[in-house]
Homo-oligomer: A and B are copies of this chain.
């Protein structure tokens, strides 16, 4: 999967202790996703990210202008990552459309369990800090949610075409309803450290669809 020679022809002073991921910027963003998803933006210090990734502060400010810029980079990466994950499920032809969405909720259950319910949804978590975040984050967060919502709405329209969903259903509204509730379920699962809220919401959501 990698160039066999792994020549590591990377410019600049080499790391004192070689890291698993030689791409420092990338490593910082990945670490940022983990930390911010657990602790949020405001109460997370740069030093915490640095220590986790094993990178000195100089490198951080070499790649990012500020904590705020870093936050935006992390957010963008997360949004992309998540959109891909979503599409992977929702566009796969192996299952009927509605079942795809249900499987997404199952995937998420496994994901939260894997992290012992300490991490939630980065977008949901930062959303809670909206009054404390630098300007611009709020629009960004809402835009990401709208993007995910659109993807779910498209899937619901496919479900309509398959006859899984009543033809008169407003798929955009239903997708919004899904995400509002789903974020609530993630939040609650994080509090209880149990999969129950996720399972319960999923169960009830699908049970209440008509046709």
Residues of A within 8 A of B (CB): 38-40, 42-43, 118, 120, 124-125, 127-132, 138, 141-142, 145, 173-174, 176-177, 179-185, 187-188, 190-193, 197, 200-201, 204, 208-209
Contact B38 A131 (CB under 8 A): yes
Of B141, B185, B191, which is within 8 A of A138 by CB? B191
In the complex, chain B residues whose CB is within 8 Å of the CB of A209: 208
Knowing that A138-B191, A180-B197 touch, tell me 12 more A-B residue pairs with CB under 8 angstroms. Answer: A40-B128, A120-B128, A127-B187, A127-B190, A145-B188, A174-B204, A176-B200, A180-B184, A183-B187, A184-B185, A208-B208, A208-B209
Of B120, B127, B145, B200, which is within 8 A of A173 by CB? B200
Task: With CB as the reference atom, state the residue of chain B lying closest to A137.
Answer: B191
| A188, B144: Cα distance in complex, Å | 12
| A121, B118: Cα distance in complex, Å | 21
Contact B188 A183 (CB under 8 A): yes
In the complex, chain B residues whose CB is within 8 Å of the CB of A127: 187-188, 190-191
Contact B201 A177 (CB under 8 A): yes
In the complex, chain B residues whose CB is within 8 Å of the CB of A184: 180-185, 187
Contact A180 B185 (CB under 8 A): yes
A-B interface, 7 closest residue pairs, ranked by CB to CB distance from nearest: A184-B184, A181-B181, A208-B208, A128-B128, A177-B204, A127-B191, A183-B184
